[in-house]
Amino acid sequence: DQQVKQNSPSLSVQEGRISILNCDYTNSMFDYFLWYKKYPAEGPTFLISISSIKDKNEDGRFTVFLNKSAKHLSLHIVPSQPGDSAVYFCAASAGAQKLVFGQGTRLTINP
C-alpha cells in the first residue's frame, strides 16, 4: 500500500521557469510533510517542511503547498536553476512516527 505517491517519475523544466513537483497521500493521520532533494550517491538533503496546520510554507525559492482536503502537496521552485537538477522525494509522518517516502521525481533543469 503506497501511502505517499509521486506519480511523475520525471520532470523537465527550462532554467528560470517554475518547477512544480506533486505528491499525493492517502493516510489522513499524516500531520507533517517534508521535501528532500537527493543527488546520486548522496544522502537526501532536507529542503522544506510543512505541518498540517498550515497550507503554505515558503523558504527562498522553495514553496510548499498543502491541500488537506485533496490530500495533496506540491513543491514549487522558482526560478529553477541548473543546480536544482536532482531527485526530489516527498515524505510524510503521523506524529512522531517514521517517515513514509514517495517514489521520487527526477527533476532536470535545462539551460
Partner 1 sequence: GAVVSQHPSWVICKSGTSVKIECRSLDFQATTMFWYRQFPKQSLMLMATSNEGSKATYEQGVEKDKFLINHASLTLSTLTVTSAHPEDSSFYICSARDPNTIYFGEGSWLTVV
Q: Kindly indicate which of the ranges 21-29, 53-61, 77-85, 93-101 contains the residues binding partner 1, using the contact rule CB under 8 A.
A: 93-101
* Contact criterion met (CB below 8 Å) for 19 and 8: no
Q: Within 13 Å of residue 100, how many CA atoms lie on the same side as its CB?
A: 20
Measured CA to CA, the distance from residue 40 to residue 18 in angstroms comes to 23
Is 41 or 70 the residue whose CB approaches partner 1 more closely? 41
- Taking CB under 8 A as the criterion, the residue among 3, 27, 103, 108 binding partner 1 is 103
Between residue 39 and residue 68, which ones bind partner 1 under the rule CB under 8 A? 41-46, 49
Nearest CA to 78 out of 54, 104, 109 is that of 109
Q: Where does this chain bind partner 1 (CB under 8 A)? A: 34, 36, 41-46, 49, 89, 91, 93, 96, 98-104
